[in-house]
Structure 1
Amino acid sequence: MNLAVIGSGGREHALVKKLADSSKVSQVYALPGNIGTKEIAINIDVNISDFDAVLDVCKTNKIEWVIVGPEDPLANGIADFLTQHDIKVFGPKQKEAQMESSKDFTKQLMQKYNIPTATFRTFTEKDDAKAYIMSQGAPIVLKQDGLAAGKGVIVAQTLDEALTGLDALKPSLNNPLVIEDFLTGEEFSLMILVNGEYFHAFEMIAQDHKRAFDGDTGPNTGGMGVYAPVSHISEHTRKKAIDTIVEPVTQAMVQEGLDYFGVLYLGAIVNDAGDVNVIEFNARFGDPEAQILLEMMDSDLFELIEKTYNKEPFKIDWKDGYQVGVMLASQGYPGSYKIGKPVDYSVVQADSFVSGLTEIEDKTVTSGGRVLLVTAHGEDMKTAQEKAYNNVNKVKFNGSDLFYRKDIGNRALKK
């Protein structure tokens, strides 16, 4: 059986790698893929915003299943379109993808069904938003309603930061702004395979590092590093997240007439009292969480997708030990940055996932903000972290062309 993975980042590289290992899959196509996926799949250069072109590729290559990696095509309705043409799609349809594409939609749903999350208000007028910020004080969190590649969130520690963030995010009727209370605690990521009222939560959680710089400082990014499992966050906490968030939200979606099929990503936070709250939902695998979790997964991912489609029970097998991933990013990211900078990662290619690299005249050069997730596995967290940074040191680039955080996983070692 042939299947396709839509997207061109590190998450899609990981999905292609994992799905290519399935005994049920004959050929994986990457649409359009990247220089990492071309080693394990057939890359086809197609504009994934052109659904007719994607359909043509599927028909020409007898593709039966499409796994959608990034959020934009989901929000634009690619699952609706391909399903109408008898192609199975792992990824929610446009209406259901609002769980990620509209912060306000999701917050309203959680409020209606008493799912624990930060208190919030939504604004379309800057003056109203400013008055609310002044009345609430700081710290406070500002979130652009729509998609922003993980960069539409400002965690303001001071009123000045909040007002500067308000100027940057510019709320309007077409661009609402969600303002919510700042929550303290340990954040974690939980992936859930969902089909209507049916769900299976991953038995292993991950911890992402959203801020650009060491010590969780700097602006929010798409993710600068990750590790799994998160042994200092208890199994009791994972189960509490399932009982108080995952099960209620899947039931709430059904009650609201949604028919969600795909991965639901829960970004959660647990405080010192053990309370678990929702930070965000995403309508696809996390990036870079997918790269680490799929490396730790021993089960056949496509088999799990099929079982979710058929609403059959299953258990996921996981490797022992720990996996750590460190993201190398272009200098200036998540702000403006230059591309076309040479990178040589050949020594650690087997342990790396390509986010933003391309080949020009036989040279590997940067093509995005996040460039390469370099990973390693170890029997314990300290070993995995040391091996990951040893691998990072084997990547060759010029001076300050790239940067990376040097504290990925430190939180786990301090616990």
Structure 2
Amino acid sequence: MRTNPSLSKKFLFVSRWGESLDIINTIKLEGHEVKMYIDDKPSKEIGYGFVQKVTQWEKHVDWADVIVFDYTGFGKIAGELRKNGKLVIGGTEYTDKLELDRNFGQSELKKHKIKVIPSEEFTSFNDAIQYIEKHPNTYVIKPCGETQELKQLLFVGSDDEGLDVIRVLRAYEKSWGDEFGNFQLQRRVKGVEVSIAAFFNGNEFIYPVNITFEHKKLFPKELGVSTGEMGTSMFWTKDSPIFEATLLKFQNTLAKHNFIGHIDINCIVNGNGIFPLEFTSRFGYPQIFIQRAGINEPIGELFYKLASKQKFKINVKKGFQVGAFIVVPPFPYEDKKTFNLFSKDAVVVFKKNGKEKEGVHPMHLKKVNDQWLITGNTGIAVLVTGTGITMKDAQKMMYNRISNVIINNGYYRTDIGDRWSEDSDKLWSWGLL
């Protein structure tokens, strides 16, 4: 879907880890000019051959029509650029804090009269263990600050007395010591985990909103280590009881802080209500790519309208969208030796010619002689998406596309979207769809 040449804009993407390559590449293919900067040193090769890379993004600010920050932590800079009259998609100091400071996020939820799950913050493993011994229950360990990026450290307990959480805390104390930083113990609530996401134009939310179901564990049926994400299923809707009970209550606050971008709130819902867990006040990964698969208009034009505070409705597909990561060793861990041995510069091969790359989104890749090669250091190769009027249709399209991709040592989950049949029944019965 190419853009009218007269509408062509210049986009500067400032990326933390190169996560937004697929969106950047798409905007380039739509006919816009694009430059990409990556902050993280081991990720610098990502995007080479796909898009123009720059080493100092600040030198290209005057060149850009739109500046996009793809991660939290850039809120202060984004705010200053907005004050100077630049069109910016990205966080603010307030929305950065919503995501990075779990306690602040919880206090803001309470301030907006949204009920939260009881939680306590700790800096000492011993204090946390003593707390569980005094208040036995089922808990979740949630690292805060920078440590929360290591998704495998999040631990969801299942023991009613909290004994499994105590054992994990003792193991973390031996392996991490004082470097672990502060963390939360949150009471575990059972139900359906669902995320509500929406774009915000500086004044109000842009409709429709997005309902997302994440699959976080490495193996099918939610087994194995927590990876942050292995795949996601979703749909768009013009109204949602969960959105109205959570994100919509932040509309005036986000407008006051001049937030322009994408925000998501992850919740557990059950027959007793809606319980928000945490904010993601930026693009979600792989959420944004699966959203793109369901958006019928050019993503560059959507971003420009958003950045320039226009009021509009997003043109989206009916039905469902799904996406699954294909990953390689050492994912979800970081191990340079293993990555270099098994995965670095491995080729992404397509069995059929023609439209073989349709629905296959480049992740941590570079392009050499028109070949897609794996780079970076985490082992996330591609995301593959599918769409359909029913969840089964979307799954079928996605897994057909996956069968056309050959990546040596690649692995992926075979059950993305399977939970929908049970989750949807529960959500209907609770009046939340």
TM > 0.5 fold call: yes
- C-alpha change, 1:113 and 1:207, in structure 2 (3 Å) is same
Residues 99-131 of structure 1 show CA distances to partners (whole Å, capped at 9, x for unaligned) of 112112111222333313211111122222112
Residue identity matched to 1:203: V
Decide whether the 8 Å contact of 1:109 with 1:252 is kept in 2: no
Match of 1:31 in 2: 37
Match of 1:43 in 2: 52
- Tell me whether 1:298 sits opposite 2:264 in the alignment: no
CA shift, 1:206, in A, is: 2.2
In 1: Cα distance, 2:305 partner to 2:360 partner: 29
Match of 1:318 in 2: 316
Residue identity matched to 2:59: D
Match of 1:107 in 2: 106
Residue identity matched to 2:194: F
Helix, strand or coil for the counterpart of 2:268? strand
Helix, strand or coil for the counterpart of 2:229? coil
- Tell me whether 1:356 sits opposite 2:341 in the alignment: no
Match of 2:69 in 1: 68
Decide whether the 8 Å contact of 1:210 with 1:216 is kept in 2: yes
In 1: Cα distance, 2:84 partner to 2:57 partner: 11
In 1: Cα distance, 2:215 partner to 2:261 partner: 24
In 2: Cα distance, 1:19 partner to 1:248 partner: 32
Match of 2:428 in 1: none
Match of 2:165 in 1: 162
Decide whether the 8 Å contact of 1:192 with 1:199 is kept in 2: yes
In 1: Cα distance, 2:315 partner to 2:150 partner: 30
CA shift, 1:209, in A, is: 0.9
In 1: Cα distance, 2:320 partner to 2:48 partner: 24
Match of 2:96 in 1: 97
In 1: Cα distance, 2:305 partner to 2:365 partner: 34
- Tell me whether 1:410 sits opposite 2:389 in the alignment: no
CA shift, 1:19, in A, is: 3.5
Residues 310-342 of structure 1 show CA distances to partners (whole Å, capped at 9, x for unaligned) of 554321211134322111122342224422422
Residue identity matched to 2:183: L
Residue identity matched to 1:135: K
In 2: Cα distance, 1:126 partner to 1:371 partner: 36
- C-alpha change, 1:308 and 1:389, in structure 2 (3 Å) is closer
Residue identity matched to 1:26: H
Residue identity matched to 2:11: L
- C-alpha change, 1:197 and 1:142, in structure 2 (3 Å) is farther
In 2: Cα distance, 1:229 partner to 1:294 partner: 12
In 1: Cα distance, 2:145 partner to 2:319 partner: 37
In 2: Cα distance, 1:402 partner to 1:220 partner: 18
Decide whether the 8 Å contact of 2:329 with 2:339 is kept in 1: no
CA shift, 1:29, in A, is: 2.1
Match of 1:339 in 2: 339
Decide whether the 8 Å contact of 1:339 with 1:366 is kept in 2: no
Match of 2:41 in 1: none
Quick one: which of 398, 406, 410 aligns to 1:396? 406
**Aligned-residue RMSD, C-alpha:** 3.2
In 2: Cα distance, 1:164 partner to 1:283 partner: 32
Instruction: Give the unaligned 5+ runs of structure 1.
Output: 47-52
Match of 1:206 in 2: 212
In 2: Cα distance, 1:203 partner to 1:395 partner: 31
Decide whether the 8 Å contact of 1:154 with 1:219 is kept in 2: no
Query: Residues 262-301 of structure 1 correspond to what in structure 2 (within 5 A)?
Result: 262-273=261-272, 275-301=273-299
- C-alpha change, 1:344 and 1:181, in structure 2 (3 Å) is same
CA shift, 1:188, in A, is: 2.2
CA shift, 1:407, in A, is: 0.8
Helix, strand or coil for the counterpart of 1:389? helix
Decide whether the 8 Å contact of 1:70 with 1:284 is kept in 2: yes
Quick one: which of 217, 231, 248 aligns to 2:223? 217
In 2: Cα distance, 1:92 partner to 1:21 partner: 26
Residue identity matched to 2:110: Q
- Tell me whether 1:227 sits opposite 2:233 in the alignment: yes
CA shift, 1:55, in A, is: 1.1
- Tell me whether 1:58 sits opposite 2:66 in the alignment: no
In 2: Cα distance, 1:249 partner to 1:294 partner: 24
Decide whether the 8 Å contact of 1:5 with 1:31 is kept in 2: yes
Match of 1:382 in 2: 392
Match of 1:117 in 2: 116
Query: Residues 229-244 of structure 1 correspond to what in structure 2 (within 5 A)?
Result: 229=235, 239-244=240-245
Residue identity matched to 1:87: K
In 1: Cα distance, 2:177 partner to 2:206 partner: 37
After alignment, is 242-251 or 354-363 more displaced? 354-363
Helix, strand or coil for the counterpart of 1:334? coil
In 2: Cα distance, 1:243 partner to 1:226 partner: 22
- C-alpha change, 1:108 and 1:172, in structure 2 (3 Å) is farther
Residue identity matched to 2:186: E
Residue identity matched to 1:74: F
In 2: Cα distance, 1:364 partner to 1:14 partner: 14
Decide whether the 8 Å contact of 1:191 with 1:285 is kept in 2: no
Decide whether the 8 Å contact of 1:191 with 1:202 is kept in 2: no
Residue identity matched to 1:282: T
- C-alpha change, 1:334 and 1:324, in structure 2 (3 Å) is same
- C-alpha change, 1:173 and 1:345, in structure 2 (3 Å) is closer
Residues 288-311 of structure 1 show CA distances to partners (whole Å, capped at 9, x for unaligned) of 111111110123444444554555
In 2: Cα distance, 1:171 partner to 1:262 partner: 37
